[in-house]
Structures are given as C-alpha cells and as structure tokens.
Chain A
C-alpha cells in the first residue's frame, strides 16, 4: 500500500512554506490511520512535534467533531505553552476549525472550569494537570471521545515518579477511552523497548501495537574539548581558569548556550563572565531557583534573539525551541553521554549542519571524564539504566485520585494499573497494601477504622469517605517534592528567587553570598523570607549549594574513565597538565592498581579522611559508604560522613582508620545493613518524599498554607516511630525501594570486596593526594548519625569551660 498522501489543504500548506514533509511525518500519519500507537525517536529540532500533531489535525479536518480529540502532555509548563503557540500557526494558515488550548497550574480557575464544560479539540497540559482532570467525576465524559495522547520528551519522563504518575493516568485513560492512540516523542535512547512498553496499552513491549518511527538524524556533531591556554586546575568545579576562553568563544558566535551542572556553578560562571564582559555582551542566567518571572524574561529574550549567551542548568535541558543556537558550551564534566548528546542537540536546529559544542573540564579529573564522553559520542554509545518498578507512593496517590473521580472496584483497578508499564509486575499483595494504606493508613495496629479515607459501599466498591479528602487530594497532587526553600527578597522590593533553608542556616547577618547573578548581603530572616541587600564587596562570598542540583555520572561513562586511567599509554592523548597530574599522583602516592584497591588516608581540616578508589559506580559506593561508616562507628573512629562518586568513596571521621582488612572485609555485607541504612539522613529524606507523594503528609491543607518546614520536621519523627513499631509498613517498603534504586548495587559491591580481598594497598599521606582532590569537592555529602555528635558537643562545651558552662551553674538567690 503506498503511503497515504497528505490531504490537499496540508500538502498546499507545506508547499507554501517551501517544505516537504519528512519521511517520519508521513510514517506517523500512516500509523495513525492504521490506529496504532507510535514511538517517534528523533533528535531535537527534527520536526518531531509537528509530526506528533499532524495526524490529529488531519483527522479533525476530515472528520470535524466536538469534544476533546487530542491531549498533549509535556514535562514542562513552558513547553506546553510554546508548543501551543507553534501549533496555532498551521491551524490559522490552513484555516482549520480546530481549537487548541493550554491547561497548567497557571491557568485561571474560570478558564479551567470552562475547559471541562466545553473542552477544546486539542489540550496541552502537564502530567499533574492530567491527574487533576482524571480526579473529577466528569472525567469519563470528558475523555470518552479522546482519539490521541501525545507525550513529549518521553525519555525525560520515564524512570521518574512523574512518569510513573503519568503512566497510571494513561492506563486510566485506556479504560475511559479504549480507542485512544498514544504517541511518544523521544530523543535517541539506549533502550527504546522500555519506551515502547510504556506506550503500549498492555504495559509490555508489543511491536504490533506500538510502531517505532525513526526521525532522520542530523549531521554528526562537532565536539571539542577546550584546549586551555591556562593550566587545568587540580581542583574545583567552576572552571574559572577557562572563563576568558569561554568569553572569547561567546564573542565569536551568534548565540551560545553555556550549560553547567549545578545552580552554584551557574551563579559563579555568570559572575565570572560579567567580570570580564567589557563589550557588555547581553549574557543572561537561567536556573530553577530563580523567580519564575525572571526565567520567563530570559526565555523570551532568548527566543527573540536579543541575547548572546545564557548560562543555564538542566532547567533548559528540555524542549523550548529557540531558532538559532550557534554553540553549546558544557562547563564541567557532562556526567552522561545521553545528556551530552541532548545538550549538544540544542544547537542543532538546522539539521543539515553539524552542531558545535565545546566541553570545558573544570579540573583534571573532569578532563578524563570529558575525554570518555567524547569517545562515547563518537562511538554512538548511550547510557541506559534498566527500568525500575513503579513507586508504591505514586500508586497510592493514583488510587486516591481514582476514588476521587467516583468509586472503584479493587480487582478492576488492579488489572488497570498493571497495564501501565512501570506497574506491569506489581504483585496483588503490594496493590492491596497500597489500597489499605489509602483507606485506613494500613497500619498493623488497625487503629484508624473510624477515620478512614475510603469506605466500601454495598457493592464492595471503594469511595472517598468525606468530601474534604477530595479537596486535600487535589491540592496535593503531583510527585515533585521540593527541598525546603525560602524566598529571597532584596530590600523592600522584589523576590529574587528561592534558596534552600539549609544554606540559610549557615549564614549570619553580614555574610555575603552570590545569588541571581548578584552579590548579596544577608540581613536576616523575616518570618520565612530571607532579607538581603546588595553587598559592597569584600570578604569571600558564599555560594548556595543545592542538594537537588547534582547530576549523577552514568555507569557507562564511569567505566570508560576507569579504562582510560588504567591504560598509561593513553595518557599521551590527554592534555599535558592532566598527564602531569597522573604522574604526580604516581609520585606523591601511587596509582590505583588494576585489580587491588588503593586506600589513602590523610588528615585535613581537623578530620581524618579515607579515600578508596573502587571504580564501581556511585550506587555501590553509596552503599559501601554506609557500611564502612557503620563499621567505623563500631571501631570507635567516630565517623562524621561520607561522599561517593562513580570513581571514589571518601569518608571522614574524628579518628584515623588503621585496620583496612577489617573495614573492607566481605562480612561487612552481613552486618545489619538495613538497620544501619535506616538511620541515615538519606533514608529519612527518601521517606519524606514518599510520605508526601503517598498523601500521608500534606503539602497544603485546604484553607491553610502549611509551611514546608513543618513537613520536613514531622516526617523525621514519624519515620522513627513507624520504623520501630511497624517496620514492614508499605511506606517503609516504598522508601527502601526508592533508596535501593538510587543507592544499592550490592552485587557489584560484593564482587569488588571479593576481588580486592588481601590486595588492599594502604597509603598513609600527610596531606591530600592529587587524585583525591576532586572527591572532597563533591557535593551531596551524607552525614552519619552516631556518637560523633556527642564528641563534637563535648569538644564545643569544653572549649566554653572558661565561661563556666560545663559544670553546674552558679547557685543564685531568688530576688
């Protein structure tokens, strides 16, 4: 059968624009006419989004209908708005009677109500807004005629809790509108079968139901590592040494995107560029902590070509189409080959020309990583983590949402949720426990029958027990649990954005810090607002660090780095200072041996550091960090914390470790792993997220704004009590699963411990070794609970003895 031609009106429109439809656009139309779903894989800027909508526009032109025809779901509000704008052009130019509208958290209440009563043909929305729509009792009517769901940036949603919530929403839509096709738009991924399963109505990969369509790939990208005139520093993540060269590169190109990995880096790079900006080039800053209005302003300026450069974090990784990016600069190591390709793709809006990117390693270790990433891009290998099972906390939210829309039958709902790929293997027991949690808390002590949220009617169907639960569900929808942040206000004027409370706690009035591109002076905390003024300079400013700002290095790249380090002959390919650095390591300490384990110890800043060069990936190192500090605690070394990268694990303690065979013995895995991990701050943080998502703790109550500080606080107390009295509770299982997918790589760790047994090479140093520098600059440190707290308190208290504080206070006569 020949491919169906475009209908005349569409063919004319393409012709008027001087375009020919891409092959993948024609294939999409064929798939739609055949009524099957499709996964369209294409690099950024390949006309993917238009391909997604073409079949819907054609269908609506050929068979005009009332009611909702196509749902477009994007991970970003801004993207939904942007796509809507782009879609209005063909609709207007072809004179189609198609109404397209956007619906996000920002949409006014009146418009939202109208959209439910009189839906547009095409609705652009977010996963959270879809969940909200599905929770109303009119959802069956609203979605009954739905023909198509388009999920944009699918690769960015799968494997996340937002994606899990969306997959459950799609399963629900599959029940309400069985005829509905699904279309996924994705960048190139290592495991397309995961995405196909995600789109399939059965939740399993099925090529008859989901067709895979490949967009054309553009010309291969040109990627260079900056050959700096300066000496690449041993340490640091900011690449300050290379800023002059970055600035020159910006000057030579039309528009440049400068990607960094953390918000702190964004602030510092932005400052550094402006310090040397004698030509007053319009250079802007964009990251997720800045006030929304500020970000929109930058995006608009970028879209209209008024900027020469934007310094951005992953807040700009996705979507919004900007016409002409000429150069992408990646400052700091890219952390993953797929991410790097995505970022390079931002400069790829003329698919026939190669996009150009420059990698700027910030230190010598990052040179190795950039080299490995470059090799990966050239070899076309991508990072691919196996899919993880859907979170039970997300399922709990969905179960409540389903009950909000009406009643549900447990058997039918179980069948429905197992048609969502992340839940395809969900056991009935876990499902039942989740329903029990939603209904009564699901506690072993069945205390809350009286106050249940879900009641069962005569037909044994579950329904919401009281209407106030509907309101609180709708106010707490979604899976994004933000860190506790505080607004930053400049003088009496504008809010600059939000910084993490944790950072504010370390400030005293008069401290200066860099935020929103300005040097600010901390004045104090007024209620929950951080009051600041413009600083006059002087002193070393601090930079806010963000727990969430960190990108994990992919295992794939970690392996490549390890191989590079192990092969001395390849050091010649590295920049001279890096080669020297490796030689210095060999001189001051030793190189990590091929099969054994190098462990360095040294004192630094009143603490004792231990650095183990395991090269087993961050997950395994995190687990080892917990086990090792547990053992150190028992050995009386008073461990304080640890940090793990993909290469290295570092711990710090009050006393130095000596017996490494004992510390790294295989039986460390036999220790009460779970018990120790359960005490960690990491698990408590994971529990807080799970508790909020599952609906145990509310973000907001109807009518009362609960501060986020309270949420943080309560969840730790709840966690402690629950763990002691109901250790098998569903939320603890969900917490453990979350931690396991991010933290534990037990098998790999066990293999390593077996391999290095008897081959531990301990190197005692009087100071940090060249190779150890990067690890101590990592953020994302985990602190350890234990008697170090008491030791530190005792030290502080003893230091205050002069103030007569450690003994009984002086007796005082009542006046």
Chain B
C-alpha cells in the first residue's frame, strides 16, 4: 500500500518500491540507482557480488510494468561513477536500453555521474534540472530552494518505535513544499533523515514516509527515532 502526499499542490504517490508516482502526469521518478556500484568496488579490490545493477533494473522494470508511465525521471547518481557504462554487463545494458527506448526517459545528472556516459546503448535526455508544471526535479536539494523541489542524493532512512519493536527503513521526506526520495539502488545504503544534513532542509518540520514490508506510512518528524 502506497501513501499519498501533496507537494506544492501536486498530488503524488510514495510507492513502497521507493519510486515516486505522479499520476496526473503519467510520470514516475526514482533517485540514486547507483548502477554498477558493485563493480566500482570490485575495481578497487572488494569483489562485491556483481548483481546489483540487475537487481536494481528488475525493481525498476517491475514498477514501470505496473504503472505504465509515459515518462521516467532518474534523479541523478543513476550510475555509481563515470566508468559504469564501460563496466556494465552487456545483458544489463541491453535491458536498460529496452526500458529507456519505451518511454520518455530523463537522466538528471548527479554528483556521482556529473556527465552523460559515452557510447552507452541506452537513450534518454540529459538534464541538470527539469521543471514540469509545478514541480522542479534536481539531484540535490538546494538550501535556498524549496517550494516545488523533488530531489534525491541523501538516501534518507528512518526508524520509529512501535509497541513491539523498532521499525527501520528507507523513507521519503517532505514538508509539502519539497520532497526527497529514498535511494532506489540495490547497494545504495541509507542516511538518517534526522541528520541535520537532511532535517536542516526542512526548517518547519517534515513528514517521513517510511517504507515497511509492503506499505508506506507517514510519520511526523517528532515521532522518529535515530537509526
């Protein structure tokens, strides 16, 4: 079960997969895929299992299949580094090409992938940021920005205490003016939403939309505990 939220007057849906759905624009957005993070580590000698791109693409394909969007926006750090396109397994690259060819695909650049990959078989428009009606999509929230901004970068994660135990998970973070997405990548990891780096962007408090087993639920900042 997903959760509805409104940012700058626009109705959006926080999906348990970590994707953001914008029904009225037939658009979905995902953040921080970090494709080829495994092979980036392997290059440095830590031979992590090389299946992270595959796992991430499986999740992405599943949400696209279900939602049938006209447009997909990847909010930056889609690739773990600039060499990712050279390292990605050909079958994964072909898979990604298939996805990007089927819809309007927008790659927002991030700090891990500040330039478009060269010679990649997949397509998609490259943007540093993008404004569509009342929403602006960029990789990292701007301290002075705010109203209307949809971003990624921080990999927010949070925890709540319940009567039986703590529940920890990835989360969306929003105050109704701006929204930060959780990381979508299989190896992307997480960062405490209560950390000043995130919470400092929401001066008047925020809601965390915590992803559970199959549901997303909203919790106000004061009800969260540190991860």
CB < 8 Å: which of A606, A725, A811, A815 contacts B9? A811
Q: Does B72 belong to the interface (CB within 8 Å)?
A: no
Residues B189-209 near A (CB distance < 8 A): 189-190, 207
> What distance in Å separates the Cβ of B183 from its nearest Cβ neighbour in chain A?
10
Contacts of A795 in B (CB 8 A): 162-163
Interface size on A, residues (CB 8 A): 64
| Contact (Cβ within 8 A) A812 B212 | no
Q: Does B4 belong to the interface (CB within 8 Å)?
A: yes
Residue of B nearest to A448 (CB): B42
CB < 8 Å: which of B48, B164, B186, B225 contacts A607? B164
Contacts of B165 in A (CB 8 A): 640-641, 783, 792
Measured in the bound complex, the distance between the Cα atoms of B43 and A788 in whole Å is 40
B160-183: CB near A (< 8 Å → 1, else 0) gives 101111110000001011000000
B12-52: CB near A (< 8 Å → 1, else 0) gives 00000000000000000000000000010011011111111
> What distance in Å separates the Cβ of A610 from its nearest Cβ neighbour in chain B?
15
The listed residue with most A CB atoms (<10 A of its CB), out of B39, B43, B167, B212, is B212
Q: Does A385 belong to the interface (CB within 8 Å)?
A: no
Contacts of B167 in A (CB 8 A): 789, 792-793
B66-109: CB near A (< 8 Å → 1, else 0) gives 00000000000000000000000100000000000000000000
Q: Does B151 belong to the interface (CB within 8 Å)?
A: no
Contacts of A721 in B (CB 8 A): 49, 51-52, 55, 186-187
CB < 8 Å: which of A466, A606, A785 contacts B164? A606
| Contact (Cβ within 8 A) A448 B213 | no
Measured in the bound complex, the distance between the Cα atoms of B10 and A814 in whole Å is 12
Contacts of A807 in B (CB 8 A): 4
Q: Does B54 belong to the interface (CB within 8 Å)?
A: yes
| Contact (Cβ within 8 A) A808 B219 | no
> What distance in Å separates the Cβ of B17 from its nearest Cβ neighbour in chain A?
14
State whether A505 and B45 are in contact (beta carbons under 8 Å apart), knowing that A445-B51, A796-B219, A814-B148 are contacts in the complex. Answer: no
Contacts of A786 in B (CB 8 A): 213
Contacts of B61 in A (CB 8 A): none
A700-737: CB near B (< 8 Å → 1, else 0) gives 00000000001001100110111011100100000000
Q: Does A529 belong to the interface (CB within 8 Å)?
A: no
CB < 8 Å: which of B159, B174, B187, B223 contacts A717? B187
| Contact (Cβ within 8 A) B160 A796 | yes
Q: Does A440 belong to the interface (CB within 8 Å)?
A: yes
CB < 8 Å: which of A472, A696, A713, A800 contacts B223? A800
Q: Does A482 belong to the interface (CB within 8 Å)?
A: no
Q: Does A10 belong to the interface (CB within 8 Å)?
A: no
A452-486: CB near B (< 8 Å → 1, else 0) gives 01000000000000101100100000000000000
Measured in the bound complex, the distance between the Cα atoms of B219 and A45 in whole Å is 61
Contacts of B9 in A (CB 8 A): 811-813
Q: Does B121 belong to the interface (CB within 8 Å)?
A: no
> What distance in Å separates the Cβ of A331 from its nearest Cβ neighbour in chain B?
29
State whether A441 and B219 are in contact (beta carbons under 8 Å apart), knowing that A721-B49, A725-B55, A792-B167 are contacts in the complex. Answer: no
Residue of A nearest to B4 (CB): A808
Contacts of B11 in A (CB 8 A): 808
| Contact (Cβ within 8 A) B162 A792 | yes
Measured in the bound complex, the distance between the Cα atoms of B3 and A806 in whole Å is 8
Q: Does A809 belong to the interface (CB within 8 Å)?
A: yes
Q: Does A674 belong to the interface (CB within 8 Å)?
A: no
Q: Does A673 belong to the interface (CB within 8 Å)?
A: no
| Contact (Cβ within 8 A) A789 B48 | no
Residues A776-815 near B (CB distance < 8 A): 783, 785-790, 792-797, 800, 803, 805-815
| Contact (Cβ within 8 A) A785 B213 | yes
CB < 8 Å: which of A451, A472, A797 contacts B217? A797
| Contact (Cβ within 8 A) B177 A808 | no
Contacts of A424 in B (CB 8 A): none
Number of A-B pairs, beta carbon distance below 8 Å? 160
| Contact (Cβ within 8 A) A718 B48 | yes
Contacts of A234 in B (CB 8 A): none
> What distance in Å separates the Cβ of A164 from its nearest Cβ neighbour in chain B?
22
Contacts of A321 in B (CB 8 A): none
| Contact (Cβ within 8 A) A451 B162 | no
Contacts of A813 in B (CB 8 A): 9
CB < 8 Å: which of A506, A607, A696 contacts B46? A696
Q: Does A525 belong to the interface (CB within 8 Å)?
A: yes
| Contact (Cβ within 8 A) B6 A797 | no
Q: Does A602 belong to the interface (CB within 8 Å)?
A: no
B205-227: CB near A (< 8 Å → 1, else 0) gives 00100101111011110010111
State whether A718 and B49 are in contact (beta carbons under 8 Å apart), knowing that A451-B42, A793-B167 are contacts in the complex. Answer: yes
Contacts of B8 in A (CB 8 A): 812, 814
Measured in the bound complex, the distance between the Cα atoms of B220 and A725 in whole Å is 37
Contacts of B64 in A (CB 8 A): none
Contacts of B126 in A (CB 8 A): none
Residue of B nearest to A442 (CB): B47
Residue of A nearest to B211 (CB): A793
Residue of A nearest to B50 (CB): A447
> What distance in Å separates the Cβ of B204 from its nearest Cβ neighbour in chain A?
10
The listed residue with most A CB atoms (<10 A of its CB), out of B148, B165, B177, is B165
CB < 8 Å: which of A607, A696, A793 contacts B215? A793
Residues A584-614 near B (CB distance < 8 A): 606-607
Q: Does B147 belong to the interface (CB within 8 Å)?
A: yes
> What distance in Å separates the Cβ of A735 from its nearest Cβ neighbour in chain B?
13
Measured in the bound complex, the distance between the Cα atoms of B47 and A718 in whole Å is 11
Measured in the bound complex, the distance between the Cα atoms of B52 and A668 in whole Å is 33
State whether A466 and B45 are in contact (beta carbons under 8 Å apart), knowing that A640-B164, A713-B189 are contacts in the complex. Answer: yes
Measured in the bound complex, the distance between the Cα atoms of B49 and A713 in whole Å is 15
State whether A440 and B186 are in contact (beta carbons under 8 Å apart), knowing that A790-B212, A808-B4 are contacts in the complex. Answer: no
Q: Does B63 belong to the interface (CB within 8 Å)?
A: no
| Contact (Cβ within 8 A) B49 A812 | no
Contacts of B210 in A (CB 8 A): 793
Q: Does A581 belong to the interface (CB within 8 Å)?
A: no
Residue of A nearest to B210 (CB): A793
State whether A809 and B176 are in contact (beta carbons under 8 Å apart), knowing that A697-B46, A726-B49, A797-B219 are contacts in the complex. Answer: yes
Q: Does B130 belong to the interface (CB within 8 Å)?
A: no
> What distance in Å separates the Cβ of A449 from its nearest Cβ neighbour in chain B?
10
Measured in the bound complex, the distance between the Cα atoms of B91 and A173 in whole Å is 47
Contacts of B89 in A (CB 8 A): 445, 447
> What distance in Å separates the Cβ of A400 from its nearest Cβ neighbour in chain B?
11
Residues A684-702 near B (CB distance < 8 A): 696-698
State whether A800 and B213 are in contact (beta carbons under 8 Å apart), knowing that A717-B186, A721-B51, A808-B5 are contacts in the complex. Answer: no
Q: Does A443 belong to the interface (CB within 8 Å)?
A: yes
| Contact (Cβ within 8 A) A797 B55 | no
Residues B134-164 near A (CB distance < 8 A): 147-148, 159-160, 162-164
| Contact (Cβ within 8 A) B47 A696 | yes
State whether A441 and B49 are in contact (beta carbons under 8 Å apart), knowing that A447-B89, A805-B219, A811-B9 are contacts in the complex. Answer: yes
CB < 8 Å: which of B5, B164, B213 contacts A809? B5
Contacts of B174 in A (CB 8 A): 809
Contacts of A606 in B (CB 8 A): 163-164
| Contact (Cβ within 8 A) A505 B225 | yes
Contacts of A472 in B (CB 8 A): 45
| Contact (Cβ within 8 A) B220 A800 | yes
With A783-B165, A813-B9, A814-B147 given, name 4 new contacts (CB 8 A).
A451-B39, A721-B51, A790-B1, A795-B162
CB pairs A–B below 8 angstroms (30 shown): A443-B49, A445-B50, A447-B39, A448-B50, A451-B42, A451-B43, A451-B47, A466-B45, A505-B166, A505-B226, A607-B164, A696-B46, A714-B187, A718-B187, A721-B49, A721-B51, A726-B51, A792-B164, A793-B215, A800-B219, A805-B207, A805-B220, A807-B4, A808-B4, A808-B5, A809-B176, A811-B176, A812-B8, A814-B147, A814-B148
Which residue numbers of B lie inside 8 Å of A, CB to CB? Answer: 1, 4-6, 8-9, 11, 39, 42-43, 45-52, 54-55, 89, 147-148, 159-160, 162-167, 174, 176-177, 186-190, 207, 210, 212-215, 217-220, 223, 225-227
Which 3 A/B pairs are nearest by Cβ-Cβ distance?
Answer: A441-B47, A725-B51, A814-B147
